[in-house]
Structure 1
Amino acid sequence: MNNKITVVALIALITVGCEREKKIEISSESFTENELPICENSNCPEITINYVEVFGDPEISEKINGKIKNFIFTSLLMGEDTIPTAKTIQEAATGFVKNYKEDKAQFPDMAGEYFAEISVTEIYRSEEHICFEIRQYLYTGGAHGYGTTSFKNIDPKTGEEIPFQKLFKDKKEFATFAEKKFRHEQKIAQEQSINGTGFWFENDKFYLPESVGFTQDSIIFVYNQYDIASYADGPIELKIAVEEAKPFLRIH
């Protein structure tokens, strides 16, 4: 009898444990200016947003979705604002349109129509690590638009971002390794200044971008325009095979 009770208790505990450890699911979503009431009968800037939404455990999904939407909201900010106040993508996009209309009214002869392209894409997932690639490209006047690419590494069990020190064993050692790869790809001799071919590394010292991306096979670093080179040079990507980087990794 006691054995039966023990077995039933164990099954109950396992069931409760499985219920608590809910897995998250990710779906692809999209949004354009055509969904805005303000654009129904008037000319609007083109807005294209492709992103992901996380479902499953409410607490975890809320954290991850909050990070994704905050990136979208911030990307659509104009002027001197740096902290978004929008609560929805529709609200943030409406603010972008209103700013465009105000600028157009003030400068009716301004060349070029504003536009915004924003994307959040899942590029890697394991039981302990999800990596999102986040991109934005906006034109809000001037000679050209400006875009950035960065990454967010998330712990799917908590919804929190994984800091660099939990991804790599030793940042300094890995940076030394990455510099050799960078020099090889950019044809910069080891004894030559890192800026010897025209790069803009501060204090003439190599450093990695603030964010790092992961795929199944590669580790990706992107220097955006103006980070280490001119706008005309475009984004500069450093891609390192995971197999080569394994000695430096804590997680993948």
Structure 2
Amino acid sequence: MSKSTVFAVFTCLLLTVSCQKDKVLTFSETQISKEKETFVEIIIPKAQGKSKTAKNINKTLIGFACDVLNIDSGKNKKESIEESITAFNDAYINFNKTLLAEFDTKFPRWEALIDGEVSYQSEGLVSIAMNGSITTGAASSNLRFKFFNFDIANGKSLATKDIINNMDAFKTIAKKYYDKEILTTYTSVSNGAKNFELPETIGFNDDGVIIVYDNFELDNFTTELIEFTIPFTVIDQYLNY
């Protein structure tokens, strides 16, 4: 093999490795803590780089945080976290003005805690678990939990129907694991629901598919999340990713 051929092969190898590195999706954290009349703490993943995938992922996660902070349904949701925090604080101030005028009392301080983590990443998909909790002085917090699954090729947000190729079979398996979890862990939640439904979103970890129900997705109210994992060995044939 000539020197020129060896150099050409070496150059191709370097380019291949470089391209592979460019395609690797890495994450840092966005951390924000604001304490005024209210208290807001946010710690969520941030996809690194300027790729379309990174931009789409970050826009979606920011959107979730803004949704959680949008406590005043009468006003439009803000598009940035900073604006959403200000709107959340303003909503508390305005609410207290009303209470003071009518009842001469002040409402306890509102708190918003939003966090998330990358629970799973493969060559084709990244799964991120997001959690938001709003405390407004009520007996329990307003808890929101959601998985976001993204196609790494383009950052497209994937619905459950995009991930599962046989929904009926998947649902049957999930129901069995749901019943087992309820029987062994919970006493206040019925396991005999005739109209079993999957949660709004599903997620992934290194062991398999994660199913989580928050306190608004169950017929029987519970202050705890109901969570279980279906192993890849059981469910792999029904997955598109």
Query: Which letter does structure 2 place at the counterpart of 1:142?
Result: A
Q: Which moved more, 1:158-167 or 1:212-221?
A: 158-167
Which stretches of structure 1, 4 residues or longer, exceed 4 Å deviation after superposition?
Answer: 7-14, 16-21
1:180 maps to which residue?
Answer: 176
**1:225 has 2:221 as partner:** no
1:94 maps to which residue?
Answer: 86
Structure 1 residues 90, 218: CA separation in 2 closer, same or farther (over 3 Å shift)? Answer: same
Cα drift, residue 17 of structure 1:
9.3
**1:105 has 2:97 as partner:** yes
Structure 2 unaligned segments of length 5 or more: list them: none
Query: Which letter does structure 2 place at the counterpart of 1:225?
Result: N
Structure 1 residues 58, 119: CA separation in 2 closer, same or farther (over 3 Å shift)? Answer: same
Number of residue-to-residue matches in the alignment = 231
Give the percent of matched residue pairs that are identical in Structure 1 and Structure 2. 20
Preserved contact between residue 47 and residue 54 of structure 2 (Cα < 8 Å):
yes
Structure 1 unaligned segments of length 5 or more: list them: 189-196
Cα drift, residue 50 of structure 1:
0.7
Preserved contact between residue 212 and residue 227 of structure 2 (Cα < 8 Å):
yes
Preserved contact between residue 30 and residue 49 of structure 1 (Cα < 8 Å):
yes
**1:96-144 Cα deviation digits (max 9, x unpaired):** 1111111112213144221101112111111211110010010234333
The two structures have a TM-score, normalised by structure 1, of 0.79
Q: Which moved more, 1:93-102 or 1:157-166?
A: 157-166
**1:144-190 Cα deviation digits (max 9, x unpaired):** 321021100111221111232342220111101111222233339xx
Structure 1 residues 78, 25: CA separation in 2 closer, same or farther (over 3 Å shift)? Answer: same
Structure 1 residues 198, 82: CA separation in 2 closer, same or farther (over 3 Å shift)? Answer: farther
Q: Which moved more, 1:204-213 or 1:229-238?
A: 229-238
2:238 maps to which residue?
Answer: 248
Cα drift, residue 12 of structure 1:
6.4
The two structures have a TM-score, normalised by structure 2, of 0.82
Preserved contact between residue 159 and residue 201 of structure 2 (Cα < 8 Å):
no
Preserved contact between residue 200 and residue 229 of structure 1 (Cα < 8 Å):
no
